[in-house]
Amino acid sequence: MDHNIVGIVNGQPLSMSEFDRQKQILKESYAQQYLEWNEEQMSTLLLDHLIGQTLMMQEAEKEGFVPSSETIDEKINDLKSQFPTEENFHQALASQNLTLEQLRSDISQEVSINGYLGKMIPKEEITATEEEIFSLYQQYKVNVGGRMPTLEEIKPQLERMIVQQKAAQAINRVVEKLKAQSEIELFI
């Protein structure tokens, strides 16, 4: 067994270095939110996430969802524009233990997977109905009590929450279907 890989998905190795990089990012995110870190549980969740990403990327490539260099450059320039200077941008990358090449790769993967998911998940499957928004509002009213914003005041946030939840569920269904059709071997 090669100690530099954590698993193999349809013949494609999952590298230990990518697993460790993702784990460090997740760990820092938890620390910033003052959340408790459970090494074993997080490693399992992260490995599952990497398997899902790999499966979706494999399918995206099969379906021809590969972004152009121009698209990737555009996304990087959008990110750069959020920083006062080029140096600040590179410092931010360094603080995330990320090289420009890794960022390009991450963006390419994100664009490819989003294209694939856009094809696989119908828009109407991830939209919020008025009934769902109202129902969620009523749940909050019961749980919060006291001063509650009006439905109109928080409708956009409620809608976003419902859409995010439905999208996560739809993505999970896609990944589970891909897993069932795949050969996955894990080493950790």
* pLDDT attached to residue 58: 97
* pLDDT attached to residue 2: 63
The predicted model gives 137-163 an average pLDDT of: 90
The larger pLDDT score, comparing residue 73 to residue 35, is at 73
* pLDDT attached to residue 171: 96
**pLDDT, tens digit (0-9, with 9 covering 90-100), for 53-89:** 999 999 999 999 999 999 999 999 999 999 999 999 9
The predicted model gives 37-64 an average pLDDT of: 93
**pLDDT, tens digit (0-9, with 9 covering 90-100), for 96-149:** 888 999 999 999 999 999 999 999 999 999 999 999 999 999 998 888 877 889
Q: How confident is the model at residue 32 (pLDDT cuts 50, 70, 90)?
A: confident
Answer left, alpha or beta for residue 35, where phi above 0 means left and psi between -120 and 50 means alpha: beta
* pLDDT attached to residue 1: 56
